[in-house]
Structure 1
């Protein structure tokens, strides 16, 4: 084989190297096309048309660099159609809902968080004013719209309907305003927080851990039994007074609690409300170790003063929202 035959063999039927130029995934023309933004297109047109640069020079002046063939295509489009922007994406099915209609769906869910996908779908089909082009739609399409707008299924949090009424907002505003006035006064004032919490032997933690495929269980009494209510008064230093009774706290029982607190500590006109140390009782597992009332009494002594201070700081985070009369959730 002479030299010319060897060169022809190398050009024609030589050994093909995998992954070389023009072969394999992502190599040569088989790679993913780079997206040239409208800003880069306008810059390239300015370099060539207004400043007289060549195609290759204009392609090297932008980052990332583009080839002279891409520059030539951009200039050709500019001269033929007088535009530098890319055309909108075409092909495929058209959108089922417009932007305004998707906003209406989002507002529908925001107004009623308990709507199911089927109810949303039926509302869309029946509402021919907002959705005149929708004669039928699948639940999967509605679900994609909700996910695209960052709406997810969550556990419903029950809120009393009077919590965000105008009267309650005004009361919260007046309460915070009074607290700030007392803190700004020359004489020092001590704030005492009072609240009550109900307990029952059947109440346990709602979440636990176990091996995948097996339920997380906990043993509870067969009968629910009566409720036991604990009322406590706290400040920054800890629990000042607590008392537990069988059944709920009514007005008469609360007045007795306030009288006892008044005799031991402060006048009752300076008392406000606070969080309850509920889970300290359940951590003692009272249904298996001791009577519930005894567990409640002993749990009150296991709470460090830092925990009370943290609860009080947490309540003060809502002061700006109360002063602005915002919704409370």
Structure 2
């Protein structure tokens, strides 16, 4: 049978170690206290020659863990900055930062314990709601209200597209054979609708097939302003055209620089 482990009191250990430090007969003291000679010799080697402090070992409490709370906080900060990181990438970053190598499953356990769950990503533009953009929106509203107070007619342009392609995904054929139908490589052109509205309703619109580029938008603006001028109800000098910052609107200033339309005003929508 294995020998029963016996734990010595801290006072007994301190007395043997103090005697050895004072060059006393620590072997006799150990014998008087009932301490085995090998155990006393181990104490002297550790605490006298090795300068290890004599202290009571902690009992109970939280067990030692490889991943500390600071490491968990580091992982959570990485996820807050980039939610798209994989468990392997998190494990690699933790190893580069702390030198501790853990399995991806360990990362998952600690992240799940902090109530971080896997969900669908919601992507936001990098410059969304920045202080600079908020200031630009404020400037846009101030200018817009000034035009409205001056009695200008505010026109808004926007466009959308419709996918006219439709096809069936199921058909009939002889049992054991596929239902095959020859189709074109492309689905056909989309139809774009470009319209202009004011506070009184629809002012002008056009439809076209294919892509909508800046040249198409500029042609639409020319047609719109000519239509407004021909109606005779509104002077071009009283027209303020509001455009968003879409790629197809990137060169609208060219139209307003032409002599025919220079009386009209272009106002860019805030970002």
Which range, TM-score by smaller chain?
0.3 to 0.5
Which protein has the bigger strand share? 2
TM-score norm. by structure 2 comes to 0.46
